[in-house]
Structure 1
């Protein structure tokens, strides 16, 4: 690790990150742990490991601790799909029913409940781009806002807990209507789980095997996968949730976690376990235009396309969102092919750069890439829901405040 000053960062100001997180979140019992990495200009400029991996057992967090990254799986799946686009095996404008024929006539919800839905024809087919940008009309059961997401809960259509494998998951999805016609709104959804199934169908290789051979092995992401092997179980963190009186309660015990077993459904939307080091290697690949240490994953032009705002009409998330997802509440953000990005910095009221892109996970993990400042940040913890505390925005401010040289 280089000195921060060598890459245009203040070491004194970077120390504020650790002090802030320790005082406000760890010592106060709001978060169990925090692992932060800041990469700039080809160097790891800051890394810190705070708190406990397992509060009940008093086990300290380790630099190689394993985290449930939930929706930080989505950018990886999106990259995997775009690798197939680059090979000419599929196109962004292809209808999904080209590869999933029984999806051709999914209707749009008008009334009713599961077993008695009334629908109308969609204005057009679901296209691959709709899955990548969450404009397909799909949803998540946790949204708790409609009869459609109620059906998702009853049928266990969250991608992670579904039964019978990816094919059975996709077949059950076709029995529930869309929330809206494709392209008419943005709704955070299981769309990326469908992309994982499509990667499997189009490549002819199991989804998890594709990720391992085409992304994880080339990038040397040695600790990333859909479950924790026997030899790594002592490194799995505990996951916590917000309980009564604002206290943390154990949500997933690492000793009995479902992540200890190979899941039936490999969730491209939220199923991976990883380390900060591994995910930073993925981020470094992105920051470097799709290549790392000689391993080319996607081309720079493909990555550029993915990180543009693809919402219809160039709209912002706040204009298109149909659900209650946290990030969609912030002005100045667009959504591309697997990432959200800043399209109007003044409206976000965030320190940062125009064109930076990012995402996070349900257990409050986060990352962002800033091509302007040649910067990547990975933040790991295990606490849900991610909307409980403004830690992501606070961390962004603290990191950018440490810059002593800016390219913008």
Structure 2
């Protein structure tokens, strides 16, 4: 995501006509005004929905920590006759869970209950003597002892050397799936690469089983997308003395006013949940209908890397808290120091990014971080087409929500960032 490197004063000046709308009841003109101020975003949403590529999309955009979000919505919760999307519609945000987990860990770092460079073996002794594949994604019996310990920093930044069933190939991927190390869910129907033959029953069991697997890379050496943020959920449990989901509810969701963010959607809220689709051969096939979704069931355990369902309004509140450097609506959720550190580049010096899809960026607490002229941007995207980021330089927060898999079936993540940049700067974004 490109940085929105223009002055905040100039940007806010261009939005002067909307200055008072956050104090008024939401009316149709507010949406029309949002579309007028974000024409590129509007065209993008129109293009996907009017063409039938996607049944619905909604963008939430806002300034600073205090102003209410503007929204642009097209389409509905599902194809055909379905309620229209709005700011309280529910979406599977998948990996957009990672920044939330990352910030939860930063709270504990700030409180000295964790240290960034603390070996996780201090809390989870089973990770004290890890083995590493001699050939990444090769044999799982040709191994050598790890030269370094996995640290909290490594888990936050995908440099722990851990694997991921959606990334790895060969025997290590098969071993992860067979062992139930698939921390996520997509459908009640079996889907290739998504089903775990032996679902694990708790974060503690997940951590114990994961510790028996060889690492793919030496800790700290390579950026490789992994289950690190899921394992971090167990670290948070041990460090805080509370179940991971309870910690998030008490320390993040409650204080932020996020009333529609869950690992399990209450039955009473099923009518707000969008349908998730598989985009295959130009067609959309429903894999998880909202009213019968797998997210209405209790998950085996809270997946800190990809488990949350949230609404555009709720995720915007999380982003407002970040732009407020830990404060929202006068309530301090986390310290300014913790936010600044968590949204900074936490990668270890010398980490190999040559195979990383964040090449050119840094990585903070569960999210990508802009560097150089792109400094100030922090955020991440999800496997079902959602994406969200903040830019501290200009005080902007932005989120786009839709539901289709795989996310690379359409370039929504890239196009949304480019459209926001075009609207904010008045210039065509770089490819």
Of 44, 51, 64, the residue aligned with 1:28 is 51
Q: How does 1:5-404 map to 2 (within 5 A)?
A: 5-6=16-17, 12-22=36-46, 24-41=47-64, 42-44=66-68, 46-55=70-79, 57-110=81-134, 117-160=141-184, 162-243=199-280, 245-313=281-349, 319-320=352-353, 322=355, 328-329=356-357, 331-345=359-373, 353-403=374-424
- RCO higher in 1 or 2 (8 Å CA, sep ≥ 6)? 2
CA RMSD of aligned residues (A): 2.6
**What per-residue deviation string (whole Å, max 9, x for no partner) do you get for residues 73-94 of structure 1?**
1111111111111111121111
**Closer, same or farther: CA 268–404 of 1 in aligned 2, 3 Å:** closer
> How far off is 1:27 after superposition?
1.6
Aligned residues of 1:242 and 1:248 also touching (Cα < 8 A)? yes
Measured in 1, the distance between the counterparts of 2:339 and 2:350 equals 18
Secondary structure of residue in 2 paired with 1:209: helix
Aligned residues of 2:60 and 2:400 also touching (Cα < 8 A)? yes
> How far off is 1:202 after superposition?
1.4
Deviates more, 1:395-404 or 1:157-166: 395-404
Measured in 2, the distance between the counterparts of 1:295 and 1:178 equals 41
Stretches of structure 2 lacking an aligned partner (at least 5 in a row): 1-12, 20-32, 186-198
**What per-residue deviation string (whole Å, max 9, x for no partner) do you get for residues 141-181 of structure 1?**
01142422221122221212542111111111112100011
> How far off is 1:25 after superposition?
0.8
**Closer, same or farther: CA 197–56 of 1 in aligned 2, 3 Å:** farther
Q: TM-score, normalised by structure 1?
A: 0.88
Measured in 2, the distance between the counterparts of 1:19 and 1:44 equals 22
Q: TM-score, normalised by structure 2?
A: 0.84
> How far off is 1:218 after superposition?
0.8
Measured in 2, the distance between the counterparts of 1:261 and 1:373 equals 40
Aligned residues of 2:44 and 2:416 also touching (Cα < 8 A)? no
Secondary structure of residue in 1 paired with 2:334: coil
**Closer, same or farther: CA 115–17 of 1 in aligned 2, 3 Å:** closer
Measured in 1, the distance between the counterparts of 2:370 and 2:133 equals 32
> How far off is 1:219 after superposition?
0.9
Stretches of structure 1 lacking an aligned partner (at least 5 in a row): 323-327, 346-352
**Closer, same or farther: CA 320–113 of 1 in aligned 2, 3 Å:** closer
**How many residue pairs are counted as aligned between the two chains?**
388
Measured in 1, the distance between the counterparts of 2:278 and 2:253 equals 29
